[in-house]
Amino acid sequence: NYRGFDIGNHFNEYAGYDCDYSLYPNKDEQYHFYRHYLKPEKPHEVSEKDLEALYVETNTYMLSSHLYWALWALIQAKMSPIDFDYLGYFFLRYNEYKKQKEKCCSLAQSYLSGYGIG
């Protein structure tokens, strides 16, 4: 997996079993994580440019994490012998994808336009 997907998925998991996405870490909390991820021995040396790049990467891939788990749940709703509301979980993840999509795409577009892309 790409690191952005893994970190975005990790942050999505902050929502817990009840899928409380208000627990998703804010930008400052994410930057704290990134500093220690990128330079565990010297987190204070991570540049703002690297922090912003990883922030955009993570919060773009976060969308694909929601789609991945939504599709997984949809398949499980039909196939799994486990008694779980997979269809309900599908809608939780898919609705969060739809809720975050415009914001995340705008973030990526703004970031890329700063580099003459997009």
> CATH number, domain at 109?
3.90.1200.10
The answer to the question of residue 22 being in a domain is yes
pLDDT of residue 89: 97
CA distance 98 to 118: 22
The answer to the question of residue 39 being in a domain is yes
pLDDT of residue 113: 86
Domains of the chain: total? 1
The conformational region for residue 116 under phi > 0 = left, psi -120 to 50 = alpha, else beta, is left
- Give me the domain span that covers residue 96: 3-113
CA distance 33 to 37: 6
Q: Shortest CA distance to 50 belongs to which of 64, 27, 25, 31?
A: 31
The answer to the question of residue 118 being in a domain is no
pLDDT of residue 117: 64
Tell me the mean pLDDT per 10 residues along the chain, length 118. 95 94 98 97 96 96 97 98 97 98 93 75
Counting Cα atoms < 13 Å in the Cβ hemisphere of 7 gives 21
The answer to the question of residue 43 being in a domain is yes
Q: In one letter, which amino acid is 47? A: S
